[in-house]
Amino acid sequence: MLYVVSKTDDAEAFEATLRSSLKSIHKQYPDLDIRWINNNEWQVVIPASIVKTHEMRFSSVMKVYLGYLAAGEIPAWERSHMKAKYYTTTKAYELAK
């Protein structure tokens, strides 16, 4: 689930901005919608037709990994992301002890 919270008090203007933003990505992500929850909070409603299953995501990630393996190198941006994930995970583990 995805929620969006406005930092402004103008809920109508914010909702209009959200709807406009969804229209701008409609071709890529059809049928997205928003639902007002309370005060300045909306839920982005993601239809089942565009939700990827675990198997679909695994297949996609595996293809990318195999591409890196074939190239013999992981891109610099991916290395920095991996370092950040490693740091976050090890710090969390350290704090959990």
Buried (b) or exposed (e) across 4-24, using 16+ Cβ within 10 A? Answer: bebeeeeeeebbeebeeebee
* pLDDT, mean of each 10-residue run, the chain (97 residues): 91 94 93 93 92 86 93 90 93 92
Supply the pLDDT for residue 50.
86
Supply the pLDDT for residue 55.
87
pTM recorded for the entire structure: 0.56
Supply the pLDDT for residue 93.
94
Supply the pLDDT for residue 39.
85
- Backbone angles phi and psi of 86, in degrees to 5: -60, -45
